[in-house]
Amino acid sequence: MLKWTAAALPLLMVGQCGLSVAAPAAGNDASSSLLPNSGWRLTLDPQAQWRDDTLYLPGDVNLSAMPVHPPTGGWSALNASSGIAVSLPGTVEEHYWGRSPAHVLNPADPNQVVNGDGSYTGVSWWSRSFTPPRLKPGERLIFSFPGARLRAEVYVNGELVGYDAVTETAFEADATRAVKPNQPNTLAVRITNPGGNFAWVDFDRLKWGKYDLPISHGFGGLDGGIAMAARGPVAVTDLAMLNNPDPRKITFTAQVSSTGPAYDGPVALSICQHGKAIWTGTAAARITSGGTATVTKSVTLASAKLWSVGRPNLYQGVAAIPSIAHSDRAATFGFRWFTATGVGSDAELLLNGKRIVVKSSISWGLWSPNGMFPDQAAADREVAAARAIGLNAVQNHRHMPKPIVLDTFDRAGLMRYCEAGAGGFTYLWEKEPAYASQGPIDTSGAGGEPTEFYNKYELCKVLAMIKAERSHPSAIIWSLQNEASLNRRNPKVYYVLRKMREADPSRIVMLESGFSTSDQVWSLPYSRDLMIDTGKGSGWNDTHTADDSPGSVYLDRYYHSATDFKYGPDVKAEVRVWGEMASGASPDDHTAMNAWYKSHGVPGYDRAAHEAIETAYDKFLDAYGFRVAFPSAEAIFRGAADKHYDNAARMLANGRINNWNDYLVLSGWESTAIDNHSGMVDALRMPKTDPAPIHAAAAPALLVIRAPHMVVALGDPASVDIHLVNEIGLKGRYTLKVTAAGGDGKTFFTESSPVVVAGGDTFGQPLQTGVAIQPRGRGTLSVTASLISPAGAVALKQTEKLLVVDTQPKALKTSVATLGSPQFGAALQKRFGVASVPYTSALGKVDTIVIDPSAPGETAHWQSTQVEAATIHTADNPELYTAQMYGHAGPVVHYADLAPGTAHVDLYFAETYFDQPGKRVFDVALNGQTVLQDFDIVQAAGGPNIPIVKSFPVEIGAGGGLDLAIPSVRADNASIAAIRITDSQGRVTREVFRKSSYRDPQGNLWNALGGTGYDWSLSTSDLIARVRDGARLVILSNDSEGADAQSAASALAKERVLTYSGMAGTSGPSWLGFWYFGKSHWLLSGLPSNCVLGWPYQITSGNGMIVTAPGLDAVIGYGMHHSTTLGLGAAVVPCGQGQIVLFCLPGLAQAFSSDRADGFDPVTARRIVYNALAGPGAAQ
């Protein structure tokens, strides 16, 4: 048994404090040294065999019994000139994306360059030479790796010394037996990449031979910061510094291991700051030969400076064995305490005993240029971006946190929510057993031990994350899975959560963020109680609304009143979290990213994609004459990002004016090359445009001005409410002054009112509502609110801009004939006092012909979804349910010409997306009467994919109308498959909620929702002849996917008016994004132009026409997500002596006719239609 020398104890304690608190996480042996990140060679080995290999989890690794895999060609194939020179961190994809032997992409095909999978599947070697330190008898030489993907086999001089197959987790390799002293040695890491994905999804399986692995990002490579250290025969091999409810109390948790003799003696402990010991002590340890023991000691340091947001006071804990060199371990930490309080009454989050609202954003863990592993410069850019945008946290969303990022967040005073990615694989079953349907839920975890390989694999990954990162003050929460879908009686859920709690008792541990709050399971720090929802909530209420940002633009429907707004007051007794807010999407600034790549002279997995996209935009600007408005492609990229940032800022402010909100998460943080563009920053962590609007919305205190209508017709009053966000302790009596100025900057309205500021933990409160302002003219209306102290000082000031639109500058003097929807003619008379006549070929001369292709009552904002008929659990007409539409609250469809009296309405539903109750909940109303309240399809039908029909009698009045509406949506979106109406005379109307009609097995025709207002299969020759003679043909659009514009363009192409080459593509989910951009033109007279079309237009879905014609005047362009194909949203096509005004602006026609802001702002729509009718002489 080893003896220790007491005299050595103080010397050792002082000596180990010479380290900087910024010491890297890799290794954490206080005496370790980092291998240089430069000087590595990357050699691909595409002939290597790997697909049928046996995989080993950490507990199963026995190096002496495992196969050795030399490079193809032998060990001599790895030398100073093999492969290519690289630096760490790095991936194969960084250097070989799209090039052989990776999957080859055609550089001449921009779509393939951007969308193709150019990754490398197989074996790569990462090698370098090193000179080891001198080892004393009994010492070991240990390499510490921060992480690799996916499988890493570590060789020193051709001998297998380490192995890890758990992606991106820290691991060690003992090279003692293989190292050659006093001479250069070769370190070679064999990385095997079996594939993966490059999207956000983390619930798919990755096949590797006979194994199913949890999916992860498909890069193959090695993280930087690899440490090499000598380790004594008895040493501290792990050290965690755990926080406590007393924020100045810290608990040492040291793992002491022996690779030689037993040890019975003290472990020397010290707390250091700035290289000086400020506390020293010991803890007793008894370790058997070859054994391991855990030593704990709690220390309260009254003089400790607390770590908090923006105040990153860091310390270093050191533990060592006295008299044994190279036995030490260090961990950087901060004195702090993060928890929740008031659960069940008035829940709040606390940091160091004070209320905090977390402002965060979800990160998918994709980092340019290598895709997976950031270097210090990238981590620094992330911190700089978070500060510039105004966040105090970032979420590790569906991926492993990286040590270098947590180190940097520690030093920056920023927080991190951590999940390992694919955590749901810990509780999956190949064949899930039957559970009791009633009775208390057993949360003990009994019977929940992992049964499948992927269970064990993922559990290893989750626990490795916690054990490696639990000292970081920036890490505030451990979460298992984003948007879990499970049976709450599954014992595996509780087994893994309890294992997480054992690994770190000091933090909040939880199952998930979103979807359904009823699925949540969580635990407060140092609590063994797992809280679940028993009917009144679990205490942690997290809702995701990322898909409710159509158009990535702020909409009037997000704010109705001071008590009814997006992210408004709803839950007080639970910690209220909005885990994926509806913040929108935008393109990267591809120009800036390309400039970064050029200036740094490095390759990157996404470099070619960014170059291809910028080139496509440049070509489009030149081809369609948009350079006058947009001198560069970057002007569009940044303009689209301005729209995105404006929406995100307003959403964040909405969340903050509700005092019951505790945790606000923008969706998301970084954009990716091909899957997701909702990031605030690009994958280099550079903001996409000026982040000032979001930074202002995140300020500790601000006034927030909200208007139910941001675009006001000239002559109508504007109304605003004033709210206060107050996290700085303002309190008492103040004066609120509200002023308004027109476009000339002259103030014409002033109103002052006394207000009382609550202060304390009231972070959000309304100050004044219903301030009515009568605009004096068209253009910008600037409303300014000032909070003035009793002494007359302005404490806070905020200006909000509204838009006043003159929808009819002068009387329209034109004759109009209409085709399509009959509602357009009525609206034309109502809006502009212009009478119109239905068009016929026999009609005399007419100035303007308008085609409105929308059907009466068609809703523009609902989207389509489709499944296979085999998934529907019914033998009776399953095809009826395969295609459905989904959408948010609001009017859906109006039916006319029904016989007065009692009609019978059948509504058809089947849940084809979610598999659990509570995921989709909404109300349904017929003629204003709510007939289904809190309707949950899965619950009502008894499961997913099971049809259910709900029938109702409805009284039809003398007007013969029936309105179907969705009054409210409580979870996700409303979804309907079909409707059947039988009126009092027995006439049957059948409609399916899809884009095309359907004939059932009985021969009945079910028309598509709303049908169409114009049949484009009819000849348009007569119309074109009139245009050639001087008429103007205005073709409006309405369909959410641009189907009507597609039909119109096709018909015009048949008449040889233009060349039609297809559509650019539908806008897709809200996290992909689209953007319309318009130039100054008479068609946009009186409206913002030479810009990306933002909140003054409120367009929520998109597509673009790819058309050309001699003299074509492109007015509005259209781009989307990562596509290199652009189109047009509006153009004027000359045709003989006349012209055709062609639109592809979803929702435009409906907004004009019905005043419904379901896809387009109705006031703006009126002015656009006016301009189209007035022509080039439209007044400004």
DSSP string, 771-802: EEE--SSSEEEEEEEEEE-TTS-EEEEEEEEE
**Tokens 């250290």 sit on residue:** 229
pLDDT value of position 890: 78
- pLDDT of 1069 reads 87
Query: Residues 6 or more apart from 980 whose CB is under 8 A from it?
Result: 905, 906, 908, 988, 989, 990, 991
Torsions phi, psi of 15, nearest 5? Answer: -60, -40
> Does the pLDDT value for residue 79 go beyond 50?
yes
CATH 3.40.50.880 domain span(s) along the chain: 816-858+1014-1177
Kindly tell me if the per-residue pLDDT of 868 is higher than 90. no
Residue 116 DSSP symbol: S
Asked whether the beta carbons of 565 and 529 are under 8 A apart, the reply is no
CATH code 2.60.120.260 region(s) in the chain: 40-86+90-222
Residues 582-608 pLDDT 10s? 999 999 999 999 999 999 999 999 999
CA 606 to chain centre: 19
Structure confidence at residue 240 (pLDDT): 99
pLDDT at 1009: 76
- Do 317 and 241 form a contact (C-beta atoms < 8 A)? yes
Instruction: Encode pLDDT of 959-1007 as tens digits.
Output: 888 989 999 998 888 999 999 999 999 999 999 988 777 888 888 888 8
CA dihedral 936, 942, 943, 949 (to 10 degrees): -70
In angstroms, the Cα distances linking 694 to 395, 431, 845, 1000 are 17, 47, 54, 51
Encoded amino acid at 527, one letter = S
**Cα→Cα distances 459→456, 464, 466, 1125, Å:** 5, 8, 11, 43
The 3-class secondary structure across 1043-1105, one letter per residue, is HHHHHHHHHHHHCCCCEEEEECCCCCCCCCCEEEEECCCHHHCCCCCCEECCCCCCCCCCCCE
Q: Give how far Cα 924 sits from Cα of 105, 123, 862, 895, 967, Å.
A: 49, 56, 15, 16, 6
Task: Tell me the mean pLDDT in the region 147-151.
Answer: 98
In the chain, which segments carry CATH 2.60.40.10? 233-336
| Residue 4 clears pLDDT 80, i.e. is over it | no
In 3D space, the residue among 727, 734, 722, 758 whose CA is nearest the CA of residue 661 turns out to be: 727
Residue 374: asked if its preceding bond is cis (omega within 30°), the reply is no
Pairing of strands 358-363, 393-396: parallel
Q: Of the given ranges (88-92, 535-539, 620-624, 1108-1112), which has the lowest mean pLDDT?
A: 535-539
Mean pLDDT of 309-324: 98
pLDDT band at residue 540 using 50, 70 and 90 as cut-offs = very high
pLDDT at 224 over 90: yes
Model confidence at 1010, pLDDT cuts 50, 70, 90, reads: low
- Pair 195, 206: CB distance under 8 Å: yes
CA distance linking residue 972 with residue 960, whole number of Å: 33
Residue 316 contacts residue 273 (beta carbons within 8 Å): yes
Query: Within a 10 A sphere around the Cβ of 628, how many other Cβ atoms?
Result: 10
**Which residue, among 527, 519, 574, has the nearest Cα to 343 in the 3D structure?**
574
Query: Residue 865 burial (CB < 10 Å; 0-12/13-18/19+)?
Result: middle
- Tell which residue, 1150, 1149, 1151, 1131, has the closest CA to residue 1139: 1131
Residues of the chain with CATH 2.60.40.2550: 715-805
Range list of β-strands (E), 166-291:
171-174, 185-193, 205-208, 211-214, 221-222, 227-231, 234-243, 249-258, 263-273, 276-287
* Percent of the chain scoring above 90 in pLDDT: 84
Task: Pick the range with the lowest mean pLDDT from 340-354, 659-673, 829-843, 1004-1018.
Answer: 1004-1018
pLDDT above 90 for 697: yes
How confident is the model over 27-46, as a mean pLDDT?
86
Q: Which fold has domain 715-805?
A: Immunoglobulin-like (2.60.40)
Q: Which tokens is 495 given?
A: 């087994």
> Rounded to whole angstroms, how far apart are CA atoms 1032 and 1024?
10
Judge contact between 406 and 416, C-beta under 8 A: yes
Range in 555-564, 650-659, 1169-1178 with the lowest mean pLDDT: 1169-1178
Distance of CA 848 to the CA centre of its chain: 46
Every domain range in the chain assigned CATH 2.60.120.430: 863-1008
Helices (H) and strands (E) in the chain, counts: 17, 70
pTM score:
0.90
Average pLDDT on 937-959 reads: 93
Q: How many CA atoms lie within 13 A of 531 on its CB side?
A: 20
Please report which confidence band the pLDDT of residue 859 belongs to, taking 50, 70 and 90 as the band edges: very low
What CATH code is assigned to 863-1008?
2.60.120.430
> Does the domain made of 40-86+90-222 have the CATH classification 2.60.120.260?
yes
* Token pair belonging to 578: 């909005």
CB 1165 within 8 A of CB 865: no
**How far apart, in whole angstroms, are the C-alpha atoms of residue 1013 and residue 858?**
10
pLDDT band at 855 (very low <50, low <70, confident <90, very high): low
Sheet holding 794-805, edge to edge: 711-713, 794-805, 779-788, 732-741, 747-757
Closest C-alpha among 492, 479, 381, 514 to residue 432: 492
How are beta strands 1113-1120 and 1127-1135 bridged, if at all? Answer: antiparallel
Which residue in 407, 412, 408, 400 sits closest to 308, CA to CA?
412
| Tokens of residue 366, six digits | 């994709």
- Identity of residue 329: R
Q: Residue 1178: its pLDDT value, please?
A: 67
In the chain, % helix, strand, coil (3-state, to 5) comes to 20, 35, 45
DSSP letter assigned to residue 1024: H
Residue 730: strand, helix, or coil? coil
Half-sphere exposure of 868 (CA within 13 A, CB side): 2
Distance CA 1111, CA 1108 (A): 9
Q: Which residues contact 727 (CB under 8 A, 6 or more apart)?
A: 357, 700, 701, 763
CATH 3.20.20.80-classified regions of the chain = 392-536
> What is the reported pLDDT for 725?
99
Tokens of 670: 């970084």
| Amino acid symbol at 551 | G
State residue 873's pLDDT score.
80
> Which structure tokens are listed for 340?
């929740």
**pLDDT value at residue 937:** 96
| CATH of the domain spanning 233-336 | 2.60.40.10
Where does the pLDDT of residue 28 fall: very low under 50, low under 70, confident under 90, or very high at 90 and above?
low
Cα-based distances in Å from 200 to 160, 165, 167, 398, 1074: 35, 22, 16, 7, 19
Write out the two tokens for 265.
């003696």
**Pick from 238, 38, 1120: nearest CA to 616:** 1120
Q: For domain 816-858+1014-1177, say whether CATH 2.30.30.40 is its number.
A: no
Q: Where are the alpha helices (DSSP H) in 371-521?
A: 376-389, 403-412, 453-469, 491-503
Mean pLDDT score of the chain: 94
Residue 718 pLDDT > 70, yes or no?
yes
Fold (CATH) for 392-536? TIM Barrel (3.20.20)
Tally Cβ neighbours within 10 Å of residue 698: 22
d(CA 836, CA 845): 13
- The pLDDT of residue 3 is above 70: no
Q: What is the mean pLDDT of residues 857-873?
A: 65
| Neighbour tally for 388: CB within 10 Å | 17
Mean pLDDT of 234-252: 99
User: Does position 732 have pLDDT exceeding 60, yes or no?
Assistant: yes
